């Protein structure tokens, strides 16, 4: 591949022969490669490595269930209890989609954490998100 990238040839072997040899047992497209950032690590490990495991535990674990459509999140967001007591509280699809609690406050806290990190690198950047007045907040959350 390097020779192909360089557009070079060598006298001892043809590039097509190298290509054939390299793909003999396993076609190169099926060979795993390490792309760096996400290779062999997950977000939990990364958060632990950078000292943000507490933040990960606080926000990620619960919300990732919604991102990955885990049963708990599906159950919470699109099912409701059947009201017939003889049915032993089984779940039925909800009649309308319920409004989930707002994530605005959590998002503001996380964003301010990011801005805090940026302030260390760029001391002149000292802006933070603040909570709007109650009336505005209620309007945006409804
Ligand atoms: Zn029922």
Can you give the residue ranges of every domain in the chain? 1-31, 42-127
pLDDT given at position 140: 62
Ligand 1 centre to CA of 81 (Å) is 8
pLDDT digits (tens, 9 = 90+) for 39-83: 678 888 889 988 989 989 998 888 888 889 898 888 888 898 898
pLDDT digits (tens, 9 = 90+) for 99-111: 888 889 999 999 9
Can you say whether residue 42 is alpha, beta or left, with left for phi > 0 and alpha for psi between -120 and 50 degrees?
Answer: beta
Ligand 1 centre to CA of 96 (Å) is 17
pLDDT given at position 53: 92
For 17-107, strand residue ranges (E) read 79-81, 91-93
Ion ligand 1: residue ranges with CB closer than 5 A: 82, 84, 87
Ligand 1 centre to CA of 37 (Å) is 48
- Per the CB < 8 A criterion, the answer to whether 79 and 94 are in contact is yes
């Amino acid at each position: 591949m390097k020779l192909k990238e360089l557009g070079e040839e060598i006298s001892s072997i043809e590039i097509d022969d190298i290509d054939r040899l390299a793909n003999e047992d396993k076609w190169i497209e099926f060979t795993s490669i390490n792309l760096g950032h996400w290779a062999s690590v997950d977000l939990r490990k990364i958060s632990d490595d950078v000292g943000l495991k507490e933040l990960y535990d606080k926000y990620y674990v619960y919300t990732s269930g919604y991102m990955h459509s885990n049963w708990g999140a599906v159950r919470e967001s699109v099912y409701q209890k059947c009201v017939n007591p003889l049915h032993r509280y089984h779940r039925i699809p909800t009649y309308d989609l319920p409004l989930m609690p707002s994530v605005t406050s959590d998002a503001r806290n996380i964003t301010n954490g990011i801005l805090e990190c940026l302030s260390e690198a760029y001391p002149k950047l000292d802006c933070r998100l603040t909570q709007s007045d109650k009336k505005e907040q209620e309007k945006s959350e409804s």
